[in-house]
Chains A and B, each alone.
Chain A
Amino acid sequence: MWKFLLPFAAFVALAVLFALGLNPNRDIHALPSPLIGKPAPAFTLGGVLNPEAPVSNSAFKGQVYVVNVWGTWCVACREEQPALLAIAQQNVVPIIGIDWSIDHATKERDKAQQWLQQLGNPYTTVAFDQEGRTVIDLGVTAAPETFLVDRNGRVLYKFAAPLTLDVWQHEFLPRIADARKASS
């Protein structure tokens, strides 16, 4: 009895393991964000467009909003830009951009200004993270990353890849609707 049952059980166990592990829809680099359900880290940074005007997410308290981390050095961000522009046009929620200066140089700000001028500006407001500290607080590992924050300032969702309209429609819009229902 054991002689047949044991190999069979082992086979089933392995098959389940492989089915879960080799699922092509599963991104093996994706990490669960410990930030989900926790208060979004508060940040106040200089603006990209106007360095003198500080940009803070506390100004958006009481609203559902999106934070998008990007950089002009980031190829995938360029890829994401058209989708972001289309999303901004829907005018569903404010989009706060955080421009990530990986080399801590202020040159990134100039490049970002150029970028927004040439490609269009999807952001309600854009912050400049020269030191990369807000990026660390957000637990960002590679740009672009997009966070959804609810009215109470809690992180609802994080998407760590270039946004697409498909992702926006299926992952963001339902959560935004729920968040508005929940806290209204």
Chain B
Amino acid sequence: VIGSGRPPSAALAALALCVLWVAQSWGGAAPGVDANGLIQDPALQGRFERITHELRCLVCQNESIADSNAELAGDLRRQVREMLVAGKSDDAIFQFMTDRYGEFVRFSPPLEGKTLLIWGAPFLMLLLGGVIVYRIVRQRSRMPLDDEPAAGTKEPV
């Protein structure tokens, strides 16, 4: 939306630095998180990477919160990190996010009633294309070939 409340881009770099700085100061404070904001347990850090790549940054809607420099994405990464360190399951974290931001926050929505069409569409398209190709091929196979020799004549082999 034009004119919506995002910080002016000139200030973005400075803000990103601020966020980085703040993230680092949290990193020092939070248990199990090192100075670079990495979770010390590699298994947890792995889950952190996977989850943050799966969550959409709602400021810049086609980026994941892992890739986005938006302040909100930084805050959501902090949220995921804290929940992981607190022992929350992946499902609990996704639930937390969808409760607040809706299904749209997930890049791959769960397979359920209203998302059935999204997941099924490629197969439907394939089926539709298949039917069309089948009909065309069948129709053409019934047509006489242009160079088919007239009945009764035999071409030399």
Which chain A residues have a beta carbon within 8 Å of chain B's beta carbons?
Answer: 27, 29, 31-35, 70-71, 73-77, 79, 102-105, 131-133, 135-139, 141-144, 161-162
A34 touches B102 (CB 8 A): yes
* Pick from A27, A29, A105, A141: contact of B101, CB under 8 Å: A141
Write the nearest CB–CB distance from A149 to chain B, whole angstroms: 16
Known: A131-B75, A143-B4. 11 other contacts (CB 8 A): A31-B101, A34-B101, A73-B11, A75-B5, A102-B71, A104-B19, A105-B22, A136-B76, A139-B100, A139-B101, A162-B3
User: B8: which A residues are within 8 A, CB to CB?
Assistant: 73, 75
With contacts A33-B102, A132-B72 known, is A143 near B5, CB below 8 A? yes
Dominant secondary structure of chain B at its interface with chain A? helix
11 contacts between A and B (CB under 8 A): A29-B61, A74-B5, A103-B15, A104-B18, A104-B19, A105-B22, A132-B71, A135-B72, A135-B75, A139-B100, A161-B4
Complex Cα–Cα for A35 and B102 (A): 9
The 6 closest A-B pairs by CB, nearest first: A74-B5, A143-B5, A139-B100, A141-B58, A102-B71, A103-B18
Complex Cα–Cα for A143 and B18 (A): 19
Write the nearest CB–CB distance from B131 to chain A, whole angstroms: 11
Contacting A at CB under 8 A, from B29-87, are 58-59, 61, 71-72, 75-76, 79
User: A142: which B residues are within 8 A, CB to CB?
Assistant: 1, 4-6, 58-59
Interface membership of B107, Cβ < 8 A: no
With contacts A132-B75, A136-B79 known, is A27 near B1, CB below 8 A? yes
| Nearest B-chain residue to A38, judged by Cβ | B99
